[in-house]
Structure 1
Amino acid sequence: MPFVSVRITRDGVTSEQKAQVIAEITETLQRVLNKRPDQTHIVIEEVDTDNWGYSGITTTQYRKQLAEKPS
């Protein structure tokens, strides 16, 4: 029984997009590994951008810096 955990930031991902991710991961596991879709579990965890960081800052801060940079 496959279990796949997907973590993304919580910012504008639609229910339709999440459904597509679930369907395509399930299809890939069936096609590549011959796993049964009825036994495949996909969990999407959404993380607030204040709780996701890299390069020493939160994603919220990083995106703010990007928005402030001149084009």
Structure 2
Amino acid sequence: MPLVTIQITDEGVTPTQKAALIQGATELLQRVLDKNPATTMVLIDELPLANWGIGGLPVEIYRQQHR
């Protein structure tokens, strides 16, 4: 029974987008690993943007420097 965790920032992802992520991850596991969609679980973990960093910087600063 596979469990996929998708971690994203809490920047307004819609329920429709979340449903697409769940469907896509489930289809990927079925196609690549022959896993049963009925027993595949997908968890979307939305984290505050302030809890993310890239390249040693908080993500907001990183984005400002790499526009």
Please tell me the TM-score bracket, short chain as reference.
Answer: 0.7 to 0.9
**1:53 counterpart residue number:** 53
Segments ≥4 residues shifted beyond 3 Å: none
Give the structure 2 partner of residue 5 of structure 1. Answer: 5
Structure with the greater alpha carbon radius of gyration: 1
Q: Provide the identity percentage.
A: 47
Instruction: Say what the alpha-carbon RMSD is for the aligned residues.
Output: 1.8
Matched length:
67
Structure 2 alignment gaps of length 5 or more: none
Tell me by how many angstroms 1:54 deviates. Answer: 1.7
Q: TM-score, normalised by structure 1?
A: 0.80
Unpaired segments ≥5 residues, structure 1? none
* Structure 1 residue 33: Cα displacement: 1.3
TM-score (norm 2): 0.84
Instruction: Give the partner amino acid of 1:47.
Output: L
